[in-house]
Amino acid sequence: MADKLSVRDLTLDGKKALIRVDFNVPIENNQITDDTRIRASLPTIQYVLDRGGAVILMSHLGRPKGKPEPQFSLAPCAKRLSELLNKPVKMAPDCCGSQIEQMARNLKPGDVLMLENLRFHKGEEKPEEEPDFASALSELGDVYINDAFGTAHRAHASTTVIDQFFPEAAAAGFLLEKEMAYLGSVLLNPKRPFCAILGGAKISTKFKVIEALMKKADVLLIGGAMAHTFFKSEGISIGDSLYEKEFLSVAREIIDIASQSRCRILLPTDLVIAPRIDSASGSKIIQVDQGIPDGFQGVDIGPNTIQNYQAELKKAATVFWNGPLGVFEHPPFDKGTEAIARTMADLPATTIVGGGDSIAAIEKAGVAEHIDHLSTGGGASLEYIEFGQLPGIEALSDRPNILNSLLT
């Protein structure tokens, strides 16, 4: 991030700052159940307000199909932000148009305006189908700040196209800077040993990340349903467990490459299995080499695997974790995930957790404050590992070269 413009570099007094935030938060019965992402945006918002600026916030929420859907309104987010800031947050009925432009013009220093869901317009996700959308958004502000790491991997109107309308005033917010500082330290110069943990259901969404991590990490610990695809590729019976048939050859290739790599890949040696994922009735522990019998499916890593993984973690100087290691939303099949969470909290290593499920597990275990960095963007963090860059960051203005400016 050192070569990209920061919010610290902007002149904000009397300016209207158009800030892309990630308020894609869980909402049930019109109530926010987890405001972590809103709270994460507060430092940047408060910084602008403290320096005499007005704030115009834009975000998406959920997956509306390019048209207004009331259940995806950002009004609950505006209400919660108002409580956190202890000041009014005006809620706009849309995110562009003459009425919204007038609301923006009327803003005074210290005011906060929340635009309605960007994805109510098809131009947000498909800029080519509504090419004027980013331009209309840009008319609202004097400077642009991207503080939405969770969407930095998506080339959407509000994350990449809009930057061109602020050629020397498209800057990173504090959250974006923090995310990239931690991820950059892990990827560019990690303290070793570097241990990565990958869980979750699908190898299809993470095999490129696995390949990238094999070039960077010293040991890779695999868990979750994706482990079943690896087992199946080795001819081990997996019973009724979830797996991805079309990725068996990919799993086999990864294992072959790992055998010749300096990065070790560890798979579970024992599992908790059950007839159903939503009931502990009939569950038992088996050794992986015995195979999972028909009528059962893997639901968690077993006690020996927990011990093995804990031993690896205790040797690590840097740890990155993405994805639960079992069906953690259905106790008691959360024991493996929770044990790893507690172990990470006690490590002297630099610890980074990315992804909503992993963070949920950390918070459920009550150890969130003991993790060095909780990344607000699981998908973005994985794509950064895979590609080494993100379009939402690449699009930001470059910081002027002070030496060159002095010489000219």
Is 184 a residue whose pLDDT tops 90? no
- Rounded to two decimals, the pTM is 0.84
Q: How confident is the model at residue 382 (pLDDT cuts 50, 70, 90)?
A: confident
202 is catalytic: yes
| Catalytic residue (choose from 4, 16, 20, 37) | 37
User: Do 155 and 240 lie in a common domain?
Assistant: no
Domain count, the chain: 2
On whether residue 183 sits in a domain, the answer given is no
∠391-396-398 over CA atoms, to 5°?
125
Q: What confidence tens digit (pLDDT) does each residue in 51-103 have?
A: 999 999 999 999 998 999 999 999 999 999 999 999 999 999 999 999 999 99
Same domain, 140 and 252: no
309 shares its domain with 366:
yes
pLDDT at 403 exceeding the cut of 60: no
Closest to 92 (Cα-Cα) out of 69, 67, 118: 118
Assess whether 198 and 170 both reside in one domain. Answer: no
CATH number of the domain residue 233 falls in: 3.40.50.1260
User: Is it the case that residue 26 has pLDDT exceeding 70?
Assistant: yes
Residue 384 has what pLDDT?
A: 84
CB 197 within 8 A of CB 340: yes
Question: Is residue 63 marked as binding?
Answer: yes
Active-site residue among 122, 208, 379, 399?
379
Catalytic residue among 224, 356, 377, 378: 356
Strand partners, 222: 198
Residues 116 and 222 in one domain: no
Mean pLDDT, the chain, integer: 92
Same domain, 249 and 368: yes
Strands 143-146, 170-172: pairing kind? parallel
Residue 2: pLDDT band (50, 70, 90) is: low
Assess whether 379 carries a catalytic annotation.
yes
- pLDDT band at residue 401, thresholds of 50, 70 and 90? low
Q: Which of 146, 174, 202 is the last residue of a domain?
A: 174
The answer to whether residues 37 and 159 belong to one domain is yes
Residue 11 lies in a domain: yes
Q: Where are the beta strands (DSSP E) in 205-310?
A: 219-222, 264-266, 270-274, 284-287, 297-301
Which domain, by its residues, includes 215? Answer: 191-377
Which pLDDT score is estimated for 251? 93
